[in-house]
Structure 1
Amino acid sequence: MSKVVHVGIVGFGLSGRYFHTPFLSVNPKFNLKKIASSRPEAVQAFDPSIEWVATAEELFADPDIDLVFICSPNDTHVDYARKALRAGKNVVVEKPFALTEKEAVELLQLAEDKHLLATAFQNRRWDSDFLTIKRLLAEGVLGTLIDYEGRYDRFSPIDPNARSWKEQAGVGRGNLYNLGPHILDQALHLFGTPETVQASVRMIRPGSQVHDYFDIKLGYADKNVRLESSLMVYQNQLRYSLHGTDGSFIKGGLDVQEERLRINELPDQAEWGAEPQDRWGTLYRSGQTDVIASEAGNYTPFYDNLYDVIVNGATPYVTPADIQRLARVIDLAQESSQSQRTLTY
């Protein structure tokens, strides 16, 4: 390597602590130099060699930092990313990249003007289930795809004693901005720009202050595509249902990487991302039922690509066009739900 990319992280909650920090720490292409957080003890506990600062502005002022990950609350993403770009830093923004398409376009334009990278963290493109689906579609085992359904459910009833910002009413809060970007990005990555968007975005949990359910239909001429998520699904096994002219594929269970990261395992271990057999999907075709071994999930390619973009001028895996399209679909989903109309993309 001709260069090591020096990294700063803004925010050390779930995303900063359990997603980015482990992958950056074991990748020799990066040096995790500084973290801005309200929890210095958590930074110290993970790695005392990482510098802690109290504010994002202190991190942006460090001339050695090349790349900043924005892992703060949703409504601060654009402001922090804008400040980082103006300070000459490349940026990776946690989802949602921005709260509106207009904000996304403005941020992407600023990055282009500065000749810097601004991209979104769409790690679920490297989940084991999605990699398996991509492989099956590329192999054509389902024939012509007719129907695709992706779900991402949780059981998260309201805790009256909780103080998380995610459960407080406000702009950019709720499940459409939390889990929505994952399964929407996957569908858009597979099928491209839809013709129409139809959505229902609602509150269904007793006492909820944020939207916790959505059902979005993306209109394509040749297939049905539906994305659904609820925070009141106790049995949340089902993830994907794909039906084609030659067969069907049904897949349950969530990629293992997050659960391993949450118990402080690092992604440099052998068999990282290998899914247990009880989560493998089932292929139905030609009167046969076959259990299909899952591809191993691994978010490392996302980080390796960041390095190649910054150092070698490569194209980012998550492009500005991807980011703008997803932001527009979320805008249209909100408008569709409010107007109870199907909207043209």
Structure 2
Amino acid sequence: MSRTIQVGLIGFGLSGRYFHAPFLSVNPHFKLVKVVERHRNEAEAFDPSIQTVRSHEDLFRDPAIDLVIVGSPNDTHFSYAKAALEAGKHVLIEKPFANTSDQARELLERAQQKGLVAIPYQNRRYDADFRTIRQVLEENQLGDIVEYESHYDRFRPDILDSWKEKEPEGGGNLFNLGPHLIDQAVALFGPPEAVSGDVRVIRKGGILDDYFDVRLFYSDKRVILKSSMLAVDNSLRYVIHGTKGSFIKHGLDIQEETQRKNILPNTPDWGAEPEHQYGTLTTPKGRSTVPSLPGNYHLFYDNLYRAIIGEIPQEVTPEQAYAVIRIIELAAESSKTRKVLEF
């Protein structure tokens, strides 16, 4: 039976304003009713029907709230998500799902005990590039994959005055962009046999890591995940080699950029990439352009709704949510010890 999920959102920064509120506002299965903002009223400016509250406890006490979205700084993810679960709420947690694998396990076990959904917001599974890669692999255009390399680079030489750059608990680039790349790899290939990491500070004055090179070891392939904050040319996204061909893709998904223009995600051709961002497939027979599937974060929320009502399992599985956090831990430890560590 169709029902409307009543949603409470903690935080209305970049995540809440551009990655959650717009999609919830155009999805008939969800209603964003309350937003926690400490001092501002940005949510009400976005939609006057939203009620601003000043405390996350307000969401946990409200019997009408079905789902709590945790979009606050990383050091609060575990405590807020745990409290929401204890209050009988489903939880959607901005990446990272937790700061340690022990925390991740505790949240997942508690959700299972209570029959609730606890899921990380892995929207980058629904980027145009990754959706296209999945199609290319499913159609076996590359044969058996022997090497998969993905990048999420930026050029940001100045250190931001932000907790992401200064807060040791959950800050740094490995926790910020790492979950995206790691989740995509786990979604394609499953957990690895072993992990190595090179996690460093490369900018002058930097406090937390702003560069990582994480390697995932499988019996038949290597997965390379890289991110740097000092990449002037940062257009490269994927290089994939297989026994039948290679696929190379440049350019970042356009959905975030579009949302920042205050365009709601119910417009025609949502997420459609420009042709210059299409990937290139090279085989022994020659080279061809692969049109991108449109990016579509709607698919995440549609799956979340059906998982909450018990119709289908959540697509980002509990096992995958745990694996991502464990790989982050192992990559950081590997970087310190200069050893390859078993998963």
- Check conservation: 1:256, 1:273, Cα contact below 8 A: yes
Query: 1:116 is matched with which residue?
Result: 116
- Check conservation: 1:70, 1:81, Cα contact below 8 A: yes
Within-5 A mapping of 1:196-275: 196-275=194-273
Secondary structure in structure 1 of the residue aligned to 2:209 = coil
- Quick one: which amino acid aligns to residue 259 of structure 1? E
- Check conservation: 1:12, 1:39, Cα contact below 8 A: no
Query: 2:80 is matched with which residue?
Result: 80
Provide the C-alpha distance between the structure 2 equivalents of 1:262 and 1:250, rounded to a whole number of angstroms.
27
Q: CA deviation at 1:325?
A: 1.0
Provide the C-alpha distance between the structure 1 equivalents of 2:312 and 2:116, rounded to a whole number of angstroms.
12
Per-residue deviation, residues 101-152 of structure 1 (Å, max 9, x unmatched): 1110011111112221111111111110001111111111112211110000
Q: CA deviation at 1:2?
A: 3.1
- Check conservation: 1:202, 1:214, Cα contact below 8 A: yes
Q: CA deviation at 1:313?
A: 4.1
- Check conservation: 2:278, 2:289, Cα contact below 8 A: yes
- Quick one: which amino acid aligns to residue 316 of structure 1? Q
Per-residue deviation, residues 38-80 of structure 1 (Å, max 9, x unmatched): 2533112101110000111112211100001000000000000
- Check conservation: 2:41, 2:52, Cα contact below 8 A: no
Provide the C-alpha distance between the structure 2 equivalents of 1:11 and 1:71, rounded to a whole number of angstroms.
5
Query: 2:8 is matched with which residue?
Result: 8
Q: CA deviation at 1:172?
A: 1.3
Secondary structure in structure 1 of the residue aligned to 2:38 = coil
Secondary structure in structure 2 of the residue aligned to 1:205 = coil
Secondary structure in structure 1 of the residue aligned to 2:3 = coil
- Check conservation: 1:203, 1:213, Cα contact below 8 A: yes
Provide the C-alpha distance between the structure 2 equivalents of 1:290 and 1:111, rounded to a whole number of angstroms.
46
Task: Count residues with an aligned counterpart.
Answer: 343
- Check conservation: 2:111, 2:118, Cα contact below 8 A: yes
Provide the C-alpha distance between the structure 1 equivalents of 2:286 and 2:267, rounded to a whole number of angstroms.
36
- Check conservation: 1:99, 1:172, Cα contact below 8 A: yes
Within-5 A mapping of 1:1-345: 2-159=2-159, 162-345=160-343
Per-residue deviation, residues 182-227 of structure 1 (Å, max 9, x unmatched): 0110011101111110101110011111101000110011112100
Structure 1 unaligned blocks of 5 or more: none
- Check conservation: 2:6, 2:67, Cα contact below 8 A: yes
Matched-pair identity in %: 52
Normalised by the size of structure 1, how large is the TM-score? 0.97
Provide the C-alpha distance between the structure 2 equivalents of 1:215 and 1:28, rounded to a whole number of angstroms.
41
- Quick one: which amino acid aligns to residue 244 of structure 1? G
Q: CA deviation at 1:99?
A: 0.6
Provide the C-alpha distance between the structure 2 equivalents of 1:157 and 1:91, rounded to a whole number of angstroms.
35
Provide the C-alpha distance between the structure 2 equivalents of 1:165 and 1:228, rounded to a whole number of angstroms.
22
Provide the C-alpha distance between the structure 1 equivalents of 2:310 and 2:103, rounded to a whole number of angstroms.
28
Out of 254-263 and 308-317, give the one that drifted further. Answer: 308-317
Provide the C-alpha distance between the structure 1 equivalents of 2:104 and 2:320, rounded to a whole number of angstroms.
11
- Quick one: which amino acid aligns to residue 113 of structure 1? Q
Structure 2 unaligned blocks of 5 or more: none
Provide the C-alpha distance between the structure 1 equivalents of 2:148 and 2:157, rounded to a whole number of angstroms.
28
- Check conservation: 1:35, 1:52, Cα contact below 8 A: yes
- Quick one: which amino acid aligns to residue 262 of structure 1? R
- Check conservation: 2:147, 2:241, Cα contact below 8 A: yes
Provide the C-alpha distance between the structure 2 equivalents of 1:185 and 1:215, rounded to a whole number of angstroms.
15
Secondary structure in structure 2 of the residue aligned to 1:40 = coil
Normalised by the size of structure 2, how large is the TM-score? 0.98
Secondary structure in structure 1 of the residue aligned to 2:41 = helix
Per-residue deviation, residues 231-265 of structure 1 (Å, max 9, x unmatched): 11111010000111121111000011010011111
Provide the C-alpha distance between the structure 1 equivalents of 2:139 and 2:165, rounded to a whole number of angstroms.
42
